[in-house]
Structure 1
Amino acid sequence: MADQQTNDWPELAVGLFDRLTGRGAVIHYEFDQMQIKIPSGVGTDAKHAAWVLSGKLRISTEMKGSAPNS
């Protein structure tokens, strides 16, 4: 498989997930006291609202069936 350039974080995450789960891996995410800044628009002058999760967020994935042969 040829190397491909990744242009942004979502693309990187999708590529990593596809590669790992294709090999039967399980991915777990855990966030504790997460803060996200949400922009009001695009551009350098956009204002940001802070969203705060005062606890934990857990995301788990599980692929059913066997992994394809590598």
Structure 2
Amino acid sequence: MSEAEAPDETTTWPELAIGLYDRLTGRNAEITYEFEDMEVDVPSKTGDDADYAHWRVDGTLTITTRENE
């Protein structure tokens, strides 16, 4: 891949998710994530004064992409 074709540096989780989805859409790709006792504190907003929701994930998340006909 040439420098001109190289993707920009990803700095946030949403950018990573969008970039991954964009690359896989139309390629009949499947991504499977498996979580075991994963705990995440999800902020209500950006900044130091954010409240947090505590999420616990235990299971499998499968994301499938395909091209619309």
Shorter-chain TM-score: what band?
0.5 to 0.7
**Alignment equivalent of 1:27, drawn from 22, 25, 31:** 31
Consecutive unaligned residues of structure 2, counting only runs of 5 or more, are none
Output the TM-score relative to the length of structure 2. 0.55
The one-letter code matched in structure 2 to 1:28 is: T
Rounded Cα–Cα distance in structure 2 between residues aligned with 1:8 and 1:23:
24
Consecutive unaligned residues of structure 1, counting only runs of 5 or more, are 66-70
Output the TM-score relative to the length of structure 1. 0.55
Rounded Cα–Cα distance in structure 2 between residues aligned with 1:35 and 1:15:
24
CA shift, 1:64, in A, is 5.8
CA shift, 1:62, in A, is 4.5
RMSD (CA atoms): 2.8
Larger Rg: 1
Q: Is 2:42–2:52's contact at 8 Å kept on the other side of the alignment?
A: yes
Rounded Cα–Cα distance in structure 2 between residues aligned with 1:51 and 1:22:
32
Question: CA separation of 1:42/1:7 partners in 2, compared to 1, >3 Å: closer, same or farther?
Answer: closer
Identity of aligned residues (%): 44
**Alignment equivalent of 1:14, drawn from 13, 18, 30:** 18
**Alignment equivalent of 2:42, drawn from 38, 51, 67:** 38
